[in-house]
Structure 1
Amino acid sequence: MKSRFLIAAPSSNSGKTTLTLGLLRLLHNRSLQVQPFKCGPDYIDTKHHTAAAASQSINLDTFMMSTDHVQSLFHKYDADISIVEGVMGLFDGADRMKGSSAEIAILLNLPVILVINAKAMAYSVAPLLYGFKHFDPAVNIAGVIFNCVNTESHYRFLKEACEDVGVEALGYVPVNENIRIPSRHLGLNIGDEYDYDSIADHISKTVNVERLLEITTSTASIPYTQNTPQTGTLKIAIAKDEAFNFTYYENIEVLKQLGEVTYFSPIHDTILPETDLLYLAGGYPELYVEALSANAEMREKIFNYCNNGGRVIAECGGMMYLGKSITDREGTSYPMAGFLDITTSMEQAKLTLGYRTVTINNNILKGHEFHYSTYKEEGDLVKTGEVQNAKGINVNTPVYQQKNVTASYIHFYWGEHQSNNALDAFLSILNASSK
């Protein structure tokens, strides 16, 4: 008997992440094996999931991944309790429902627990629930939890609405500023420590967790065949510190199949590990520009590695670091590695966000773009591939190719290595192989 469900909401900022984190920690504290998942390309929520559950959170994304791969990942990490946190509103996808939480709920046959911010709502929640329940019969709305409800009398109005619509009310969460996780940019703050125990304690008082687990429990068996890992001989160095930490877990797992993975810090280290492939992952380098710039020894080593033909995949923050400089919000420019003839700036921050499909040498790569910085090309740069958004419309996001360096704002997903050879395509471009 295992409990599996998806936590969703009518819209963003309804409280689904806070509820998810509280449930993960609460169930972990009960010595249950709990496995977190995140719908969509988010690499910040997964960090919080992992910390709260003491178990690695896994991305499930029906735009960047095939349906077979999504199912395989879910089965691979099967546990006593599997909790999938949705993205945006339940039916919000990159193109209608494509890539939405609802699509994943249908694909994995998961009951949905809705989280509704009822701060300024009472019986009017009835038509809202009715619409979500009946919009797509393939989506099973199993229950609802109300957020921002401070009194039992308010909750009674909401329960009456649930009874009339036929959706089970599972409790409510009162407002508590002490458990609020502050936001930064589009996603959550990525600080290391939060009091997940306090969140767990708070929701346990007014949410019927036992009933939630009861209505989401099934006896369905989940078959999974473990593929034999490949063993390669590449030496792979990955940037990982405060500035560079936006990675997809399955991407790293694929890299580990190609050889030995070593982590290093462009902020704190002065030695670049011996490597055949350098992965400069994304992150928030703009928050650490002074420290990155001050480490001139590492900047020089990375420049020399790139200039001498070293193989590099640089994504978003990694691309910014390879440029000439990064300008902070106050207008101060800090020298970076200087390999790419670009400068990036946070002065007039503007959000760029969306899925990307890149066609390079007849290979299709999928990824996600998310940044506030702007860029300026300072010289002639070689660009490769055709880039389109989720609706197939061309976008001007550049994919730079200089010597054996491929750099872009796009965070690519190559975790589906065995079925779509996305990483093979990248390594082919970089004249690399798993030998």
Structure 2
Amino acid sequence: MERNIPQFLIAAPASGSGKTTVSRGLMALFVKKGLKVQPFKCGPDYIDTKYHTAVCGRPSINLDTFMASGGHVSELYARYSSDADVSVVEGMMGMFDGYDRDRGSSAEVAQLLGIPVVLVVDAKSAAYSMAPLLSGFINFRPEIRIAGVIFNRVGSPRHYEMLREVCEDLKVTCLGYLPKQTELIQESRYLGLDFSLSRGTDALDLLTGLLEKNIDWQLLLQRTTLPLPEAQEMRQDTAIKTGKLRISVARNQDSFSFLYEEHLDILRRLGTVSFFNPEHNRPISQKTDLLYLPGGYPERHSVALHSARKAVDSIHKYIEAGGKVLAECGGMIYLSRGIVHDAFTCTRQFDGLTELTGVFPFCISNNKRFRKLTLGYRRFDYNGQHLRGHEFHYTTFMEGEENMKCIPPSIAQVYDAKGQTVTTPVFRYKNVIASYTHLYWGEIDVMALF
């Protein structure tokens, strides 16, 4: 039976325009009004989805047209929206910014799903100059419908009136505005955004109140209501039909926190999923069929991880006995010899090392003076499967001859989104597969990797 619900994508001309603020605020406002809100995030971001989930009480789902096929993205959207009252997709970067021109962009996702766009525009220090900017976004891809515009950082009611006149001239709906507000400014954090102000209720209540007062949210819901596509049946393979695997997943608030909800749903179809915190001094079960060590910030908790010797020793024992392990980024760091926080090159004695699991003999550097972000989509082939994912981290392999000779050869050549080779290695030790790359396994058989 066809259902009509409000559904839209929040985009912006550029990063920093306020789409994350508006997205979270509208989600909170709709929840306050008693609606079941299904949140989504364009791209591979793990951080925004955490705050969507906290606001909506439902897991936020990533939609990424580089890592997944268009059909799979559409299936995800329909499946997770199936019982929602409203679906809100937060875009990424600028509306047309993708990995190759506009391929992989928020605009591509909106067009793929057939949902309208709400454009959030930073109007600070501009008035009628907004007209050519908005005209360009409205007409550049006319097949993508702009349901309305929300202006951010508006200086005064008179400023807003001038912006509303722009929308009247362009015949695009002006949905309202957010005034300049010091409390809503979000500072950069380690990776992603700092929501420390809104972890309590004060800032979120302030934001929700401002949106309720200054945004015509009822008109927004009305103008974005359209039929929801029906969710298709999940593809079933032999592994999924068995559903008898015992799966252990490392999970906590920070050091192992980069998890896609879709991946957890896949693991639950494979069998029984148990979570454990590697910072706690408890061993894992040796009867585990798959150990998943996702990414996060283990470099910030190296002492706690080192001190939990029962967890370290049990994982080492499990691996040496041939246990299957998928370790992504932070998970790979955890399996390294350890982390050096101060030195940039590693001496023969590995000075300043906080030892970890030691499955791999190399050390990882977390020297803040030389920190450099490595970021981008990745793809490679292994065991007959075409694998895609992404990479973002500040740590790196410790420099110095002593450490470099400890790095095993890569089992695959890794490429970026445009097909250029990158130096990111992929390691295999017994039944351990580890890399800095966060894999996306929505369309692969994860057990066939081993």
**1:330 Cα deviation after fit:** 8.1
**CA separation of 1:378/1:201 partners in 2, compared to 1, >3 Å: closer, same or farther?**
farther
Which residue, out of 342, 356, 378, partners 1:356?
A: 378
Greater CA drift, 306-315 or 82-91: 306-315
2:339/2:355 contact within 8 Å kept = yes
2:110/2:117 contact within 8 Å kept = yes
Give the letter for the 2:142 counterpart.
Answer: P
Gaps of 5+ in 1: 417-421, 431-435
Q: Percent identity?
A: 46
**1:222-257 deviation per Cα after TM superposition (whole angstroms, max 9, x unaligned):** 222343773421111000013101011111111111
How many Å separate the matches in 1 of 2:388 and 2:330?
Answer: 18
1:198 paired to 2:206: yes
**1:125-160 deviation per Cα after TM superposition (whole angstroms, max 9, x unaligned):** 111001111111122112111111131111111111
1:343/1:378 contact within 8 Å kept = no
Taking the TM superposition and a 5 Å limit, the aligned residue runs for 1:187-226 are 187-189=192-194, 193-195=199-201, 196-218=204-226, 220-226=227-233
1:343 paired to 2:350: no
1:381/1:402 contact within 8 Å kept = no
Q: Secondary structure at the match of 2:241?
A: coil
How large is the Cα RMSD of the aligned pairs?
Answer: 1.8
Q: Secondary structure at the match of 1:286?
A: helix
Match for residue 69 of structure 1?
72
Match for residue 317 of structure 1?
330
How many Å separate the matches in 2 of 1:378 and 1:238?
Answer: 31
Give the letter for the 2:101 counterpart.
Answer: R
**CA separation of 1:90/1:339 partners in 2, compared to 1, >3 Å: closer, same or farther?**
same
Give the letter for the 1:136 counterpart.
Answer: R
Q: Give the alignment's TM-score, normalised by structure 1.
A: 0.93
Q: Secondary structure at the match of 1:354?
A: strand
Q: Secondary structure at the match of 1:188?
A: coil
Which residue, out of 146, 162, 166, partners 1:161?
A: 166
Q: Secondary structure at the match of 1:359?
A: strand
**1:182 Cα deviation after fit:** 3.9
1:80 paired to 2:85: yes
Match for residue 294 of structure 1?
307
Match for residue 348 of structure 2?
none
**1:221 Cα deviation after fit:** 4.5
1:6/1:112 contact within 8 Å kept = yes
**CA separation of 1:329/1:29 partners in 2, compared to 1, >3 Å: closer, same or farther?**
farther
Q: Secondary structure at the match of 2:279?
A: coil
2:362/2:397 contact within 8 Å kept = yes
1:373 paired to 2:395: yes
1:60 paired to 2:71: no
Q: Give the alignment's TM-score, normalised by structure 2.
A: 0.90
How many Å separate the matches in 2 of 1:297 and 1:245?
Answer: 21
1:262/1:273 contact within 8 Å kept = no
**1:356 Cα deviation after fit:** 0.7
Give the letter for the 1:50 counterpart.
Answer: T
How many residues were matched structurally? 422
Taking the TM superposition and a 5 Å limit, the aligned residue runs for 1:249-264 are 249-264=261-276
Give the letter for the 1:83 counterpart.
Answer: V
Greater CA drift, 95-104 or 340-349: 340-349
Match for residue 183 of structure 1?
188
Which residue, out of 139, 143, 148, partners 1:143?
A: 148
How many Å separate the matches in 2 of 1:95 and 1:362?
Answer: 26
Q: Secondary structure at the match of 1:283?
A: coil
